[in-house]
A and B are shown apart, each in its own frame.
Chain A
Amino acid sequence: MSIDALIRDKRRQRMLFPLRPRAPKSASRRAMFVGEELWSLLNSAEGDQQWELRVANLQADLETFVEGRAIDPKYLFLLYPAREAVWEIRSARDQPSIRVLGLFARRDVFIATNFALREDLGGWDSRAWKDVKRMARTKWGHYFHTYQPIASTNIHQLVTGALDGRYFRNPPKTP
């Protein structure tokens, strides 16, 4: 079974949901499929104004990828270590700042596995970061079993229309 067929299968099982632009007559030039928790958040019940603002902004921020807009490393970043191929999309312009983690099934196809509030994660080498990255890998395995995500530090192999830049962190220097 191809990765596309698996994605379709998980969509039919309602394990993955396609994120589509809410604005009328907007197109998904890239594909993003989100896990159940993120889908539930984006379609959550009406809350107070702060909640509505944050959910709306998260949706709009994720659509930056979906609509094929130019992206830069402040928006999409490969988490360390690069071999795990876990990326984050930063919805950082409002409080609380949210990180959406995911992996690339193929070029321009992003599987958003999980998310976290930035304030809960601490420094980049914290236990909390390790846990959310492990969760991303675990969910990927749950969806796609032996299929591996695309592992590359070259953004242009993963995303059409990305601006040049440094999308990953160098390994820490050993003393």
Chain B
Amino acid sequence: MADISETLPKLRDRDVFYFRQRNKNRLFEKLVTFFASEAERTGITKKDIAARLGRDPSQITRWLSAPNNLTPDSISDLLLALGAEMDYEVAKFEERPQPNYEHPLISELDAVVIAKPGRPSIVDLKVSPATFDKSSSATRPSSAGKPVTIQTWKSLS
């Protein structure tokens, strides 16, 4: 079998991080929505879930507060206490069906002005000094030979 590792483009950090957070947000939404519907349907509360799991109610509140508080184990525990589990499917981007609805103000856009994964999206933009006057920046040549601004958060605190 041919080695394709050298033909596949390296993923950018921003794309990797974006899809990680997106995954967490989507999972979190499923859980919160399911909990809300079960709470409305059956009257189950976070306290009930905590009792079923032998945990402190504040732990359940924490899990249902933010996507980053969840782990595979806590997701399983929460759903089990609600009498459920996740069903998974993997969707390849190219095989995923095109969505059949988009907000009219967006669908009418003819020119795509956003960066898509897989395309270069580094733009030579300096963030407004009014907003990021505390941020540090440095410049280096980009692979295209143009200078790009490198942003860091380290001096924001």
Chain A residues packing against B (C-beta within 8 Å): 4, 7-8, 11, 17-20, 22-31, 36-37, 40-41, 43-57, 59-61, 63-64, 69-70, 72, 74, 92-94, 96, 108-109, 114-115, 117, 119, 163-164
Cβ–Cβ < 8 Å partners of A51 in chain B: 151-153
Pick the contact of A28 from B15, B22, B67, B102 — CB < 8 Å?
Answer: B102
Q: A56-B16, A61-B25 are in contact. List 6 more A-B contacts (CB 8 A).
A: A36-B128, A48-B152, A51-B151, A64-B25, A109-B105, A115-B131
The answer to whether B154 has its CB under 8 Å from any CB of chain A is yes
21 A-B pairs within 8 Å (CB atoms) are namely: A7-B105, A23-B93, A24-B116, A25-B93, A25-B96, A41-B127, A44-B123, A44-B149, A45-B125, A45-B148, A45-B150, A46-B122, A48-B154, A56-B13, A57-B17, A59-B18, A61-B21, A63-B22, A93-B66, A94-B68, A163-B36
Q: Is the beta-carbon distance between A56 and B150 smaller than 8 angstroms?
A: no
Pairs A-B, 9 closest by C-beta atoms = A27-B99, A56-B17, A47-B151, A60-B21, A56-B18, A28-B106, A24-B93, A52-B13, A45-B149
Cβ–Cβ < 8 Å partners of A26 in chain B: 99
Chain B residues packing against A (C-beta within 8 Å): 12-22, 25-26, 29, 32-33, 36, 65-68, 93-94, 96-99, 101-103, 105-109, 113-117, 121-128, 130-131, 148-154, 156-157
Give chain B nearest CB distance to A113 CB in angstroms.
12
Give chain B nearest CB distance to A125 CB in angstroms.
23
Q: Is the beta-carbon distance between A60 and B25 smaller than 8 angstroms?
A: yes
Number of residue pairs A-B, CB distance < 8 angstroms = 162
Cβ–Cβ < 8 Å partners of A63 in chain B: 22, 25
- A18 and B103 alpha carbons, distance in the complex (Å): 11
Q: Is the beta-carbon distance between A29 and B14 smaller than 8 angstroms?
A: no
Q: Is the beta-carbon distance between A56 and B121 smaller than 8 angstroms?
A: no
- A15 and B5 alpha carbons, distance in the complex (Å): 42
